[in-house]
Structure 1
Amino acid sequence: MAKRLIPLFNRVLVEKIVPPSKTSAGILLPEKTTKLNSGKVVAVGPGARDRDGKLIPVSVKEGDTVLLPEYGGTEVKLGEKEYHLYRDDDILGTLCD
């Protein structure tokens, strides 16, 4: 049975991207060069409400590649996969190609 998590409020579910530790030619890369803390947005909540009750939408969407803080987020395990849950305002930015 496959489970799906839909975040509440301004939460964002992210699957971290694990950078390769080797090049295609088999050269081992130093750990420092593979340290970019990024992830792919899997699901987003509807957003938070302000004092007047107006909905403030989440600033990222499913499929975005985002830059994550070094620490923080809540680890969530669904089946065999591991995800992290962040607040929208904890995400540092969106990575573009």
Structure 2
Amino acid sequence: MKFRPLHDRVVVRRIEEDAKTSGGIIIPDSAKEKPQQGEIVAVGPGARNEKGELVALDVKAGDRVVFGKWSGTEVKIDGEDLLIMKESDIMGILEGSKSSKKAA
């Protein structure tokens, strides 16, 4: 990807949730809500504080994060739907869940 976000912005790829409940009920697309979890694809260099010093971001590429339902701006980069949002829109990092795919 040839896109670098500026300042304290991050690029997030939504992580799609399962289309089937644990009881085996298939959820149709019209009943699904947009996922509020994603994987950080790229991060900006950071924001500047009042003294003009660069403050690095707490997130890095590859982190799984939780964000607000209406956070970010949806964009299409290289044919992929992504979100660009400020670091402050991210509510937290999901620890210990690096792989979003389950073993079959």
Flag structure 2 segments of 5+ consecutive residues without an equivalent: 97-104
Q: Which of 37-46 and 17-26 deviates more?
A: 17-26
Question: Displacement of 1:12 after TM fit?
Answer: 0.5
Flag structure 1 segments of 5+ consecutive residues without an equivalent: none
Aligned length: 94
RMSD of aligned Cα (Å): 2.4
Structure 2 distance, partners of 1:78, 1:91, is: 21
1:38-62 CA deviation, whole Å, 9 max, x = no partner?
Answer: 0000000000101111111111000
Question: Displacement of 1:27 after TM fit?
Answer: 3.9
Runs (4+) of structure 1 moved beyond 6 Å?
Answer: none
Alpha-carbon contact 2:40-2:63 (below 8 Å) kept: yes
SS of residue matched to 1:92: strand
Among the aligned pairs, what percent are the same residue?
A: 41
The residue aligned with 1:70 is 69
User: Which AA in structure 1 matches 2:61?
Assistant: E
1:51-79 CA deviation, whole Å, 9 max, x = no partner?
Answer: 11111111100000000111121111012
Q: Which of 68-77 and 39-48 deviates more?
A: 68-77
Structure 2 distance, partners of 1:48, 1:6, is: 14
Instruction: Give TM-score scaled by structure 1 length.
Output: 0.83
Structure 2 distance, partners of 1:19, 1:82, is: 16
Instruction: Give TM-score scaled by structure 2 length.
Output: 0.78
